Every structure is written in structure tokens, then in C-alpha cells.
A and B are shown apart, each in its own frame.
Chain A
């Protein structure tokens, strides 16, 4: 009997953005990356039935109906310059590309609809395959995906696991099987390791003082999934009402950023003072592989929401949660990602 090992799964997805939610990426604008999590992007078919309808003579269902489709998944990865660039571009939504071959620079900020920006994030296609072809186990293409959010986690230690990113994404529900995609060669990624971190929060350089223990920062778009279905949003098979509805748009909802960290706490530590005074300042996070492959995240203004003294491995530490605040000039967050892959989110 044949068995299939999950390590065979290959994923590729658009590094370029789709022209619209319904038009899948061409393979030339897709890349193949590895991931850490076993979770597959299983499409979910939602159904309903006629159990509650009168006129059948009983209370049981006699038929079912395809209602709608959900697609999406999670990518758990070691943090690389390539993945960081992709997550910032697709997760925040507004991108300016500069630089030149070998040193592309993607400056990213959240979309601001009040200033004329779109309410939909850039879309990409996601492909998942196990033994595509005649002996296919899984071979599917899901166009119209958008990033729901990302979380970057930095820990203490030399291993790659101390610098990770999780990206959650949702799809329109559109599904193409088989994908008809020949997955490209794997992209070689450049790790942004924990040991490369520089970090200044609210006027304190936590790396120079050797006090930082761990850090987590995240962004969530809270995509309005229900609003994706509207009269005319279409079906899995266009024009065929028996195939289940798909979403025609994925609009972000009330977005939220987060920053929390653990640092060693001593006589000179200022976290409790800054908390009591509700002092505000920037939070600047920098990670890099080399000069051409790096990530800078700037929370334009933060205030400490909580600062609790505790311990980490029997050393007194303080766990701080910061509240990102919107700055009237610079907004909430700017991410500058550098890598040698051209045309990300273009």
C-alpha cells in the first residue's frame, strides 16, 4: 500500500500581486518557499439542507445545497529577507519599490482609505501540491488570497527558531484542481537571525544594554470575511448557482498592531517610569542578513500599556506590552524590507 509523507508537500504562491481578486498569478510571478507547519490549506465547502422546510412530511433533510467556499491557511517560517519583504508588502498593502538589481527596497505602510487608498489588500495565488500529475495526491490552486496578519517572534538563542514569522491568509474561496502550475525551483532564502537584532523602544537601546530577552510584534487586518459575499459575488463555477458562492472582495476591517517584549530589569530600567508617565516614543526593530537583505520595522509612536516585573531563568525581567499609536504625520507603522527579489507585490 502506498503512503504519502507530508514532507512531499510543495507550496508556491505569488510574489507578484494579482491584477484583481479573480485573476490568478502567472507562474512567472510565483515562488516556491519552504515552511515549518504541517497544516494544509484545505478548502472548506459550506453546505445547508432542507431539514427545516415544510411540505416534506417529516423533519429530516432530503437534499443538500452547496452554499459557499472558504480557503486560506497559515505559513509558519523562519524569518528570511524574502519572506519578510513579502509579508510586509502584502500584509500592510501600500508599497513603494526602489533600489536596483540585487538590492531592491520595499517601503511599506498600511493603506489609508480616508486619503484615497483602497480598502482591499493586494491579492496573490496559493498553490499546494503533493505528487502532481497522474498520481496526484493534492494539486490545487487558490487565487484571490490576502494576508490576514503576520507575527514576528524573536527569541534568545542561536538557532533559526529564534527568528520566525507566521502569516495567516484568507482566500476568496475560488479553487482550481488540478492547479495546472509547474512549481518553480525553490527560492534560496536569507535568514534574518535573532543575533542580528538592533532594537530601540521609547528611547532605550535594548541591545546595546544587552537586556532584551524576547520580542514579538504583529499586524492583523481583521478582514471582513462576511462582506466578501454580496449580490453578484459569483460562484465556484462562474454562472453556475449550484457550485457554491465565492467572495468577490476581501476588505480589511479594524486593523491592529501589537508589540511586546521581555527585557532584563535592574535599578536603571525605565519601563515602569515610562508606563506611569505614559511617555511615547518610536519603536525601531532591525534585523539583517547583510546590507542588501534586511528588515526595519518602525512603530511610529508607542506607549506602554503594561509592564510586569517577573523572572526569566531566575533573572528579574520585565514583560512589556506597548500600544501602537497613530502619528498624524508618519501614521502607525513603516516597514522597509530589502532583498534581491524584484517585483514583490508589483
Chain B
């Protein structure tokens, strides 16, 4: 399933990742949510631990 990140209206709240279907997107878009870039903390993080 194709997914997109959406940010809430007026910048109030955290972005969320949702299914990119009209049934999911339409109510969000009408309510003021807009497409946004994925938050930085969703990127893969590799941790190196010293022995």
C-alpha cells in the first residue's frame, strides 16, 4: 500500500503516515491536513557499539 506523510492544520500536532487512498486522504485534506516530508526521525539510524 502506497503511503504518504500528512501534517495537521495550523501546525498543531505531529505528522502521521497514512494510506494514500482517496477514502483516507479526502477527510484529512478537507480537515486541513497537508502533505509533508517524512519527519527526520523516521530515517534509518545505524548505531555502532564498541565492544
Q: Is B35 in contact with A331, judged by CB distance below 8 angstroms?
A: no
Say whether, besides A95-B35, A98-B2, A112 and B25 are in contact (CB < 8 Å): no
Q: Among residues 112 to 137 in chain A, which have CB atoms less than 8 Å away from a CB atom of chain B?
A: 112, 115-117
Q: Which residues of B contact A99 (CB under 8 A)?
A: 2, 20
The answer to whether B27 touches A116 (Cβ under 8 A) is no
Interface size class of A (residues with CB under 8 A): 20 to 34
Also in contact, A334 and B26, with CB within 8 A (given A105-B2, A107-B20):
yes
Instruction: Give 1 or 0 for each of B1-45: 1 = CB within 8 Å of chain A CB.
Output: 011101001100000000010100111011110110000000000
Which residue of the partner chain B has the closest CB to A333?
B26
User: Which of A115, A116, A117, A296 is within 8 Å of B22, CB to CB?
Assistant: A296
A190 within 8 A of B: no
Residue on B nearest A336 in the bound complex, by CB: B22
Could you tell me if B27 and A96 are in contact, using CB atoms closer than 8 angstroms? no
Give CA–CA (A109, B34) in the complex, Å. Answer: 11
Contact in complex: A331, B30 (CB < 8 Å): yes
Instruction: Please measure, in the bound complex, the distance between the C-alpha atom of A115 and the C-alpha atom of B29, giving whole angstroms.
Output: 9
Given contacts A95-B35, A96-B35, A116-B9, contact A109 B30 (CB under 8 A): yes
B35 contacts which chain A residues (CB < 8 A)? 95-97
Are A115 and B30 neighbours in the complex by a CB distance under 8 Å? Answer: yes
Q: Are B26 and A107 in contact (CB under 8 A)?
A: yes
- Chain A 324-346: CB-based contact to B (< 8 A → 1; otherwise 0): 00000111001010000000000
Q: Which chain B residues border A105 with CB–CB below 8 Å?
A: 2, 20
| Main DSSP-derived SS at the A contact region | strand
Whether A116 touches B2, Cβ cut-off 8 Å, given contacts A109-B26, A330-B27, is no
Assess the B20–A98 pair: CB atoms within 8 A: yes
In the complex, are the beta carbons of B20 and A94 less than 8 A apart? no
In the A-B complex, the 4 residue pairs with the closest CB atoms: A115-B32, A98-B20, A116-B9, A331-B30
Q: Which residues in B have some Cβ–Cβ distance to A below 8 Å?
A: 2-4, 6, 9-10, 20, 22, 25-27, 29-32, 34-35
Known: A96-B4, A331-B29. 14 other contacts (CB 8 A): A96-B20, A96-B29, A99-B20, A107-B22, A107-B29, A109-B29, A112-B30, A115-B30, A116-B10, A117-B9, A296-B22, A300-B26, A329-B27, A336-B22
A-B contact pairs, 24 of them (CB 8 A): A94-B29, A96-B4, A96-B6, A96-B25, A96-B35, A98-B3, A98-B4, A99-B2, A99-B20, A105-B2, A107-B25, A109-B26, A109-B30, A112-B30, A117-B32, A117-B34, A296-B22, A329-B30, A330-B26, A330-B30, A331-B30, A334-B22, A334-B26, A334-B29
